[in-house]
Amino acid sequence: MIVVDTNVMVYLVTGSADHGDRAAALLRTDPNWTAPSILLSELRNVLTGFVRREWVELSDAKAMHDDALAILGDRIAAVDGSEVLAMAASLGLSAYDAEFVVLARELECELISSDREILTAAPDVAGPL
């Protein structure tokens, strides 16, 4: 099992250039992806921006969201808010980013991210896509 951040999921569901291929390869290698529930909110926000910029149709954005739900299945996890606040403060991350680190440390698994701040702040669990 691996924790993935929002960027990785966006790359996968949108099929973005070379990042999409790498995300797809990661999913083939380890299909047991998990993430904190915030990933879905962040994904919806990104997809809404794509629709507003007319990069994708609303129906396609909904399908991408459904794809993410199918990939995560019942592995969408809640994280302890107090731990998120402490992690954000100690690592200098946003609370959003700290949620992914908290989950990876809690599950003792790798966090795959393309976020430099996460990769720098939490090298014990975070690895690049």
pLDDT band at 31 (very low <50, low <70, confident <90, very high): very high
21 pLDDT exceeds 90?
Answer: yes
Domains in the chain: boundaries:
2-128
What is the pLDDT, as a whole number, of residue 46? 97
Class of domain 2-128 (CATH, top level): alpha beta
Residues β-bridged to residue 110: none
Question: Which pair of tokens denotes residue 13?
Answer: 């569901």
Mean pLDDT over the full length of the chain: 97
Residues β-bridged to residue 112: 4, 127
pTM for the structure as a whole = 0.94
Core vs surface per residue 90-113: b (16+ CB within 10 A) or e = ebebeebbbbbbbbbbebebbbbb
What is the pLDDT, as a whole number, of residue 17? 77
> In this prediction, what percent of the chain has a pLDDT beyond 90?
98
